[in-house]
Structure 1
Amino acid sequence: MVSTRVIPNNSSALLSPPPLVIFKFPVGLDLPQGPPEGSLFASSFNFLMDIRVPVTIATLYATVVHVLNRSRGPGTHPARFARTTLFRYLVVAHNLFLCVYSAWTCVGMTASIARTIIETSRASSRGSSSFWRGLCALNGGIWDNGLSYYGFLFYLSKFYEVIDTAIILAKGKKSSVLQTYHHAGAMLSMWAGIRFASPPIWIFVVFNSLIHTLMYFYYTLSGLHIKVPKAVKRALTTAQICQFVIGGSLAVAHFFVYYFDPAQGEYTSCLSNPGQTFAVFFNVLYLAPLTYLFVGFWIESYLGRKIGSAGEKAPGAKQT
């Protein structure tokens, strides 16, 4: 279902109220085209896009963390293995892997977006509209030219990232509300964006992979006992918060964007079906309390004012 609105062809207006049809509940929508055939995990796309997969894993993750948190008191000691040199090397390897992977995703996704926009601009005389057509169109847009691949792998990486929590628990510490909510919500948010091929999910992939590149580089240095100035830690946490505010605002802006579709000869809403709309709403609702928790963590960590249980003393509230 594609929502269109006729706008004079000589008009430069690309902002208009969203069509009401996209606000229905997303039921009966087909899966989008998955990653290129033969690429990593491409054959598992249909299975991994089943809503039961992220819901089950997120629920099990949150439940196990809650149970283990209750068993921990002030005198809880690190696990024996967590006190070994091998454990420290494994933690460094984990952080370095996520740093390199995040950088690969950020560079690859950014290059795909740039390439798509250039291609659509060359094929159209409507400069600003071709820019948005590259970002919004399912066929010939960034979904076909990289987002279905990088975005799907990024969704899978959210399951792997729970190892951050395992590291904290192995050290005898509790996983904060921020930590648990962050990981569980990210699984579901990325699922929604990829399952419904929602155009604004490119923001999550690009912004989050950039922040994670810097954050896991910091954790790698910390694991190697290389001292990092507190100003750098504070800047990383601030960047996290800016990512949520700016990214969420950009995602909502997609509601009002129309791009010119040459095939139909009229302007088309960037969000073309209820599933894409649902993904935006879900992500924004996830980001609101997450931003609050991060702001509380920032205040407690860098101003010394306790306003609640924020998390571990690290830039992303993940590891120490």
Structure 2
Amino acid sequence: MASTRTIFDNSSALLSSPPTGIIFKLPIGIAFPQGPPEGSLFSSSFDRLMDIRVPMTIATIYATCVHILNRSRGHGTEPVRFARTTLFKWLVIAHNLFLCVYSAWTCLGMISSLVRTVTETSRSHSRGSSNFWRGLCSLKDGIWGHGLNYYGFLFYLSKFYEILDTVIILAKGKSPSLLQTYHHAGAMLSMWAGIRFASPPIWIFVVFNSLIHTLMYFYYTLSGLNIKVPKAVKRALTTIQICQFLFGGSLAIVHFFIYYFDPSLGQYTSCLVNPGQTFALWFNVLYLAPLTYLFIGFWIDSYVHSRKFYQTKVQ
């Protein structure tokens, strides 16, 4: 055990340098983790849907099609005829409401699983906060087999369904932004990496993102119903999203340095145990960096520059 390791939280957990033996290795030949419970939705297709070719193909086709359509249509394109119908309006409302309810279900389910898992691991051994990290990190006793493998897998699949957000924008005659395209394509690959390699920090993505999506799609549902929502609410949602990236990314990086006590081994072990888990963590953090930049740019354009433009016109 590294000599630089320091006692953390009353000797019940240890903070140390990252496991350098695996941190820079490629995730080659790593077996699939335990999938969702047998008999649950899409459980029989877990291995096939977690093949890297699935998210790579869909993300590439999605980003390419959006890019081609943006270039060929230009600005000021008229909405398609169907987008002007009442049926289209209600289909969009149903889409947003479905994602709102689904996201809330995922968030509550994950929080419940987290609390239950951490409580159970705390009862099984008296090592304080080490049990908390064991509940988050251990593939055998932790959150992975007690909910994350189920909610996380479905959340990964939901990233493909969310492409409909872009379809709706295109149908309305608008051009999807780089932020929109990068966000959706990157989310597919980020969730794939986290679930394919059962990387412990992926719980952050599932919990935080499902919470934000609950609020965001609720806002979209109200807007679709022509219920006026103050602009301050939209600004707050964008601000929360940026905070989610900054805080979530920072919390994910902490997992690199966490060691928890494993009763079955009788010693402290790293939260990250193979190259796949470290790869998924790196991939998610690197994905979040430009995403945060794009969201901050969106925030400035929407709530700073637009206000200045409005004030200039009033004057």
Whether TM-score is above 0.5 comes out as yes
The offset of 1:18, in angstroms, is 1.3
In structure 1, C-alpha distance between the alignment counterparts of 2:83 and 2:292, rounded to whole Å: 31
Distance 2:2 2:27 in 1: 21
SS in 1 for 2:260: strand
TM-score normalised by structure 1 residue count:
0.92
- Partner residue in 2 for 1:298: 299
User: What's 2:311 paired with?
Assistant: none
Structure 1 residue 14 and structure 2 residue 14: aligned?
yes
CA distance in 2, matches of 1:55, 1:281: 18
Q: Report if the CA contact (8 A) 2:96-2:218 is conserved.
A: yes
Q: Distance in 2 between matches of 1:216 and 1:174?
A: 20
Partner Cα distance (1:229, 1:11) in 2: 49
Pick which of 74-83 and 146-155 moved more. 74-83
**1:135 maps to 2:136:** yes
Deviation at 1:11, TM superposition (A): 3.8
Q: 3-state DSSP class of the match of 1:304?
A: helix
CA contact (8 A) 2:13 2:260 kept: no
State how far apart, in whole Å, the 2-side matches of 1:12 and 1:42 are.
Answer: 37
Identity %: 77
1:304 Cα shift?
1.1
Give the aligned partner of residue 164 of structure 2.
163
Task: Normalising by structure 2, report the TM-score.
Answer: 0.93
CA drift of 1:305 comes to 6.3
Partners in 2 of 1:38 and 1:211 — Cα distance? 29
The match for 1:193 is 194
Distance 1:197 1:218 in 2: 32
In the TM superposition, 1:183-262 aligns within 5 A as 183-262=184-263
Cα pair 1:21 1:273 within 8 Å, conserved? no
Q: Which ranges of structure 1 fall in alignment gaps of 5 or more residues? A: 307-320
**How many Å apart are 1:5 and its aligned residue?**
6.6
1:97 maps to: 98
**Are 1:269 and 2:283 counterparts?**
no
Work out whether residues 6 and 15 of structure 2, in 8 Å CA contact, stay in contact via their aligned partners in 1.
Answer: no
Partner of 2:312: none
Equivalent residues of 2:75, 2:175 under 8 A apart: no
Change (3 A) 1:8 1:210: closer
* Post-superposition offset of 1:70: 1.1
Q: Which amino acid aligns with 2:29?
A: G
Give the Å deviation of 1:72.
Answer: 1.9
**Residue 12 of structure 1, CA deviation:** 3.8
Match of 1:147 in 2: 148
Q: Please give the per-residue CA displacement for 1:156-192, whole angstroms capped at 9, x wherever unaligned.
A: 0000000000000000010100000000000000000
Q: Which residue of 2 aligns with 1:81?
A: 82
Q: 1-side partners of 2:2 and 2:265: how far apart?
A: 11
The offset of 1:73, in angstroms, is 2.5
Whole-angstrom distance in 2 between the partners of 1:279 and 1:194: 9
Note the 1:102-141 alignment, pairs <5 A: 102-141=103-142
Separation in structure 2 between the aligned mates of residue 72 and residue 38 of structure 1, nearest angstrom: 45
| 1:123-142 Cα shifts (integer Å, max 9, x gaps) | 11001101100000001210
Which residue number corresponds to residue 52 of structure 2?
Answer: 51
Distance 2:251 2:111 in 1: 16
Task: Tell me how large the CA RMSD over aligned residues is.
Answer: 1.7
The total of aligned residue pairs comes to: 303
